[in-house]
Structures are given as structure tokens and as C-alpha cells.
């Protein structure tokens, strides 16, 4: 997928209970509060642990502004407080990859399903027909979420490096049919 597809995505998406918007410096305290969680870091490849204020600043000022990434802060409509993040990462090698996490306080309340439906809808609106995702096989909640959103398992492989070395990684894809 091209960077033109990334640039065509909306910067803000409204949902029933959430607003998906670019992360801002005002989100730093919430980023640290939610992301500095060993249970979260254990299932994510790109989340430092411990997660510090410097990590949050780097995320807001560098990572979230990378043209190869479309990053959304998941903010509650109620108070505009960040509760998680969803993103699409673009590369020349294949379809954009969906990434996401949610603060543990908000697990099992339907927030991530709501947010990802909005992200997938936005992707379809700019003609992104195929999206990939990777999750640890042991992360059953994430697998169920993705399968409920129409993703199908493409492959399973043991991680060869990084934080998931020797752990089973499931690759999924979702393809929209016209």
C-alpha cells in the first residue's frame, strides 16, 4: 500500500463513545498511566517496558507523525481522555498492518471493537481493500476480536527475534470484497 493511502485517511474519526484523533502532548500522562503495564507490554512487540514519560513524548512527537503510520488516540467522548491507541502501519512489502492497544481499565467493554470498526471503515473509504494484523497465539481476546471483525488466519510461525522470540505469532488478514 502506498503512502498516498495513508495520507488519504481521515485524521479524526467519530464513533459512538470515542473520538479517534491524533495523539497530542496533553495525552502524555494518560499514555504513561495505561501503557506502563507489564500485562500490556507482554503481548505487544513495539511497546517499551517500563513505559516512561520520555517514551510517551517520543510517541507523540515522533512515532505518531511518521508518514508511514496513521496513528489514532482513542479518546472518550465523555472527557477526551486517551484510553488506548490504534494505528495502520504502511510499507511497500504488503498491506497496511493494524496495531492497537487499550488501557487495562477499559478491557472487555467493547471500546476496541468500536474503534477498530471505525478504523477499518475509514480504510475502506479510501480504497484500502486488504489489512493485516499479527497477534500472539496466546492472546485469545485479540484473536477473537480480529476474527469478529472479519480477519482470517493466514499463517502461524514462531517468533525468531525481539520480545516474542520463541512465541507463536498468528498473522491474519481482512479483505474487503467489492
pLDDT at 2: 63
pLDDT at 44: 86
pLDDT at 93: 83
pLDDT at 65: 85
- As a three-state string, the secondary structure of the chain is CCHHHHHHCCCCEECCCEEEECCCHHHHHHHHHHHCCHHHHCCCCCCCCCCCHHHHHHHHHCHHHCCCEEEEEEEECCCCCEEEEEEEEEECCEEEEEEEEECHHHCCCCHHHHHHHHHHHHHHHCCCCEEEEEEECCCHHHHHHHHHCCCEEEEEEECCCHHHCCCEEEEEEEECCC
pLDDT at 27: 96
CA gap 129, 72 in Å, rounded:
20
Q: Consecutive sets of 10 residues in the chain, 178 residues long: mean pLDDT of each?
A: 78 96 96 96 87 95 88 94 96 92 96 97 93 94 96 92 84 85
The ranges assigned to domains in the chain are 3-129
For residues 131 and 121, the answer to whether their CB atoms sit within 8 Å is no
pLDDT at 119: 97
* C-alpha to C-alpha distances, 99 to 10, 17, 63, 160, nearest whole angstrom: 17, 20, 13, 20
Does the structural domain 3-129 have CATH classification 3.40.630.30? yes
What pTM does this model have? 0.93
Amino acid at each position: 500500500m502506498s503512502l498516498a493511502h495513508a495520507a488519504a485517511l481521515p485524521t479524526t474519526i467519530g464513533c459512538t463513545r470515542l473520538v479517534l484523533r491524533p495523539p497530542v502532548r496533553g495525552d502524555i500522562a494518560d499514555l504513561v498511566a495505561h501503557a506502563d503495564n507489564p500485562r500490556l507490554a507482554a503481548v505487544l512487540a513495539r511497546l517499551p517496558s517500563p513505559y516512561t514519560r520520555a517514551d510517551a513524548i517520543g510517541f507523540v512527537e515522533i512515532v505518531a507523525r511518521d508518514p508511514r503510520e496513521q496513528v489514532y488516540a482513542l479518546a472518550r467522548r465523555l472527557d477526551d481522555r486517551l484510553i488506548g491507541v490504534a494505528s495502520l502501519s504502511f510499507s511497500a512489502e504488503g498491506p497496511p498492518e493494524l496495531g492497537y492497544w487499550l488501557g487495562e481499565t477499559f478491557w472487555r467493554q467493547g471500546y476496541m471493537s468500536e474503534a477498530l470498526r471505525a478504523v477499518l471503515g475509514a480504510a475502506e473509504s479510501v480504497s484500502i481493500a486488504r489489512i493485516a494484523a499479527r497477534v500472539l497465539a496466546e492472546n485469545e481476546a485479540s484473536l477473537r476480536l480480529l476474527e469478529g471483525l472479519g480477519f482470517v488466519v493466514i499463517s502461524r510461525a514462531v517468533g525468531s527475534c525481539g520480545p516474542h522470540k520463541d512465541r507463536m505469532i498468528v498473522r491474519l488478514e481482512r479483505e474487503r470484497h467489492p
